[in-house]
Amino acid sequence: MTADSELAVTGEGVTAPQGFEAAGVAAGLKSTGKPDVAVVVNRGPLKAGAAVFTSNRAKANPILWSQQAIRDGVVEAVVLNSGGANCFTGSFGFQTTHQTAERAAEILQVSPGDVLVCSTGLIGTGDETFRAKVLAGTEAALAELSPDGGIAASEAIMTTDSHAKRAVVTRDGWTIGGMAKGAGMLAPGLATMLVVVTTDAVLDAKELDTALRRATAVTFDRLDSDGCMSTNDQVTLLASGASGIRPDLDEFALALTELCADLAQQLQGDAEGASHDITIQVTHAASVADAVEVGRSVARNNLFKTAIFGNDPNWGRVLAAIGTTQASFDPYAVDVSFNGVRLCSAGAPDRPRDEVDLTPRPTLVVIDLKAGDAEATILTNDLTHDYVHENSAYSS
């Protein structure tokens, strides 16, 4: 990824709202010696939380733990580690997650069931050394908690990310802040990658859950970088109520969606090996579901993605991809445009391909189905040599 293509990283992230402390430390999980354990703590007065998780049936131990812990809507803290997914590590792995929550709870003097745990890294690895480093890192991070610790926390959750992702949205008297990690295995299933979002607004757990599902449905759930769904994906939303202000729920959901969209775009811009950030807009669909299905069929089409890598506006590959869906439309009535140039009209050639310039990183593909009034946007990226190399050497 080139420096001039990076989206701006905004503010302190999770510690921008009042009532939160965070930290990030190096516990030795990464061979690079970089930070790899992060903690976000809600100091209240409210301790409300909500979360959405990967819909992959293969779930990592932290997901299994956190799905149980979130049920009462009370979250005191989130502990996150990079450098190991703690997935398919048997009962030992679940005990490691449980002990992580217990260690954090003991130090914070809260219930272990109110501590969520997140992990990211290589699947199928984990031993006594891994457990010892996670537990020691949790202790060290909790000892360094600070209202200014959001930057360090966002750096500690990175794996193949080239830079940290943070965002802040401020409204009249209340704030939302967030951090995210993710550069590969980005495909939707309620949530994508690891994300922690905080707010000092006064909202209960049920309201947070409603707003979070509205926001993720149109942001993270429509980021489809490589069609590969992780075992560890989790988006967590915490509310401290420290502002003392109760916002209108619709207003809060809109602000939350804005923040999640910002983070999703940062994740798209840092996708492994990508040279193009591709926005696929599907218009005039019979339903939103149809628009999403059509957009995702293109986002997951390797022939299309390699064409974009080669700066080839191959609209035929778009039509071939959308023809595999069950969406309601006439393939011979569809228009397809690349970067503002309509190359296909009513299923036939329109403008010459050489009128399209695909050398810039941002790439816009518009698919007009002419079947209704619904629309949806899917974010993806191209498939490059660097992506293949990075993922072929990931565990080496």
CA pair distance 173, 4, nearest whole angstrom: 33
Contact 50, 73 (CB under 8 A): yes
Average pLDDT over residues 65-91: 96
- pLDDT tens-digit map of 21-52: 999 999 999 989 999 999 999 999 999 999 99
Q: Tell me, rounded to whole angstroms, the distance of Cα 105 from its chain centroid.
A: 27
More confident residue, 347 or 196: 196
> Helix (H) and strand (E) counts for the chain?
10, 15
Distance between CA atoms of residues 30 and 21, nearest Å: 24
Q: What value does the mean pLDDT take over residues 128-150?
A: 97
At residue 320's C-alpha, the angle toward residues 318 and 326, to 5°, is 100
Please pick, among 15, 192, 236, 363, the residue that the annotation labels catalytic. Answer: 192
Distance CA 310, CA 278 (A): 13
* Closest residue by Cα to residue 308 from 282, 334, 273, 284: 273
* Domain locations in the chain as residue ranges: 3-269, 277-392
pLDDT digits (tens, 9 = 90+) for 365-391: 999 999 999 999 999 999 888 888 777
Confidence tier at 269 by pLDDT (50, 70, 90): confident
* Predicted confidence (pLDDT) at residue 170 exceeds the cutoff of 90: yes
Q: What is the DSSP string of 9-26?
A: PPSSGGGSSTTEEEEEE-
Q: Is 156 exposed, middle or buried (0-12, 13-18, 19+ CB in 10 A)?
A: buried
Nearest residue to 161 via CA among 377, 28, 9: 9
Which tokens belong to 191?
Answer: 């949530």
Of 350 and 187, which is predicted with more confidence?
350
Q: What values do phi and psi take at 42, rounded to 5?
A: -95, 115
Percent with pLDDT over 70 in the chain:
94
What distance in Å separates the CA atoms of residue 332 and residue 95, rounded to the nearest whole number?
Answer: 57
Q: Which helix (H) or strand (E) holds 154?
A: helix 150-156
Whole-number pLDDT of residue 393: 65
Q: Is the pLDDT of residue 2 over 50?
A: no
Is the separation of the CB atoms in 207 and 46 below 8 Å?
no
**Dist. CA 384–CA 233, nearest whole Å:** 24
pLDDT at 125: 87
* Mean pLDDT rounded to a whole number for the chain: 92
- Predicted pLDDT of residue 128: 93
Please give the model's pTM, rounded to 2 decimal places: 0.91
Q: Is 279 noted as a catalytic residue in this protein?
A: no
CB atoms within 10 A of CB 223: 26
Q: Identify the CATH class of 277-392.
A: alpha beta
Superfamily for domain range 3-269: L-amino peptidase D-ALA esterase/amidase (3.60.70.12)
170: phi then psi, degrees, rounded to nearest 5: -120, 135
